[in-house]
């Protein structure tokens, strides 16, 4: 088997995990100076979670028909991404109209994200071994500040973000951009992600693929470590 000399990582659910829906809502309430009794806050958070309104959080239980088109293409541009997720959040009545935009802005904050416990160890070890690293994400905003804020940016050689290229995983073109950025043969690259549908698209390019579970940070301390055995 050919030795691997490049690793492509997904972002959400792979290297980082977004905060809980309740924490997300509390932060937006604080940001807008909006009061909401605890019982109503918890009920609204549960409704937002069911709606799938938090990017990186739970998938929608149902996508309203009027949002189906934008939802299918949500990661192809910043405009579509915002429209899809604010559209979902607006399915839930909230006490102030400014909260919907505040929620969307909050999820882009580095404070909304936590790296998995083994992310630093794995990324730094790959750098020490001279293995190229790219982050390949279906996303509608610039996640680089999240990596910088958490001290992981120094270990990433390239960011390949769907909204910057107008194409989203599982389209193999996005993985091809990452391999070119690293100067890597796809046959010697590994894609690590939490979505068999999206991240599995790298296999069509000839990359090896490894999946991890999209779990809370505290429940997934070492799922990335096997990557080091593969390189």
Q: Which domains does the chain have, with CATH numbers?
A: 6-17+113-230 (3.40.50.1000), 18-111 (no CATH)
Calpha distance 8→190 (Å, rounded)? 6
Calpha distance 21→209 (Å, rounded)? 30
The pLDDT of 179-194, averaged and rounded, is 97
Quickly tell me which residue has 């071994």 as its tokens. Answer: 129
Chain segment 190-219, per-residue pLDDT in tens: 999 999 999 999 999 999 999 999 999 999
- What is the pTM assigned to this prediction? 0.96
Chain segment 50-98, per-residue pLDDT in tens: 999 999 999 999 999 999 999 999 999 999 999 999 999 999 999 999 9
């Amino acid at each position: 088997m050919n030795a691997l000399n490049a690793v492509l990582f997904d972002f959400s659910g792979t290297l980082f995990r977004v905060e809980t829906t309740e924490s997300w809502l509390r932060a937006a309430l604080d940001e807008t100076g909006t009061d909401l009794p605890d019982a109503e806050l918890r009920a609204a958070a549960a409704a937002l979670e069911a709606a799938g309104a938090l990017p990186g959080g739970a998938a929608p239980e149902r996508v309203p028909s009027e949002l189906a088109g934008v939802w299918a293409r949500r990661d192809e541009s910043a405009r579509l991404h915002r429209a899809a997720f604010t559209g979902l959040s607006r399915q839930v009545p909230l006490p102030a109209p400014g909260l919907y935009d505040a929620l969307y802005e909050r999820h882009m904050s580095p404070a909304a994200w936590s790296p998995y416990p083994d992310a630093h160890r794995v990324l730094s070890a790959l750098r020490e071994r001279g293995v190229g690293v790219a982050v390949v994400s279906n996303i509608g905003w610039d996640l680089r500040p999240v990596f910088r804020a958490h001290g992981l940016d120094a270990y990433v050689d390239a960011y390949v973000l769907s909204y910057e290229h107008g194409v989203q995983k599982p389209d193999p073109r996005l993985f091809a951009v990452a391999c070119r950025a690293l100067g890597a043969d796809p046959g010697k690259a590994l894609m690590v992600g939490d979505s068999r549908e999206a991240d599995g698209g790298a296999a069509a390019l000839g990359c090896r693929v490894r999946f991890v579970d999209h779990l809370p940070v505290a429940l997934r301390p070492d799922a990335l470590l096997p990557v080091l055995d593969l390189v």
